[in-house]
Amino acid sequence: YRCDVGFTWDRLKKNCTVCSVRASSQVQPANSEWNYTHTPCYYQCMNGYVSMIGDRLLAENETVPEICKDCPDYAVEQGWLLPANATWRPSASFAEGEVCVQDSWDCQAGLLKNPVAGLCCATTDLPSTLPDFSEWDDSACILKCQSGFFPPFPSQLESDCLTCKEYLAQNSIPVSGCDSLGSSCSIPDRASA
C-alpha cells in the first residue's frame, strides 16, 4: 500500500505520518507520483519517464523534477537513431525499474528486434520467438545458436537450440555423431546408415 500525498512511511511506527520536511517544489509534474518512502518528501517521475529540470537531466543530488519527459520525446531530442520499421516505446509501457535508453524501441508487428545490430528483422526464415541459447549477429539479421548448440542457425523448421545429443535424438540420428565435448555434431550419411 502507499501513503497519500503529503505523508511519508514511518518504519518504526509502521504507518503513514505527515511529512516534516517537504521538498521545495510541490507542484506535481505530469507523469509523476508521490514518493512516500524518502525524506524530504517529493514527487518522482513514473517508470520510463525521464526526470528533468528545464532542458537538462536531473542531477544526482537533485530529487524534484520539473518535467517528466516521455521516452519517445526524449529520444528525439537526444538525436538517438531509430531503426527502420521501429517505434520508440512510450514510457507508460515500461516495467518497474525500466529506464529510457537508446534501445527503448520495438519493431513493427511481424518483425524481430536485433538489439545488438540495432535492426528490425523479417521473420521469413527465423523462429517466431527467440530460442534459449541463441544470439544475434552484431551487424546483420542473422540469428545463431551459441557455441555447443545446434543447429548453427535456428529457423522456423528447427526453432530450438539444442545440445548435440538432443539435436541428434530429435532428428532420430544415432548419438555417436557428437564429439566428447559436444561442441561439434556430425550427421552421418543417412543412406549408409
pTM above 0.85, yes or no: no
Secondary-structure breakdown of the chain: helix, strand, coil percentages, each rounded to the nearest 5: 10, 25, 65
Tell me how far apart the alpha carbons of residues 6 and 173 are, in angstroms, rounded to a whole number: 69
Cell of 17: 505520518
pLDDT at res. 190: 47
DSSP state of 150: B
Q: What averages of pLDDT result for each successive group of 10 residues across the chain (193 residues)? A: 76 78 66 75 85 77 79 94 96 92 94 93 86 94 93 91 89 69 61 42
pLDDT at res. 125: 83
pLDDT at res. 134: 95
pLDDT at res. 193: 40
Cell of 142: 542473422
Residues written for the chain: 193
pLDDT at res. 173: 77
Cell of 154: 535456428
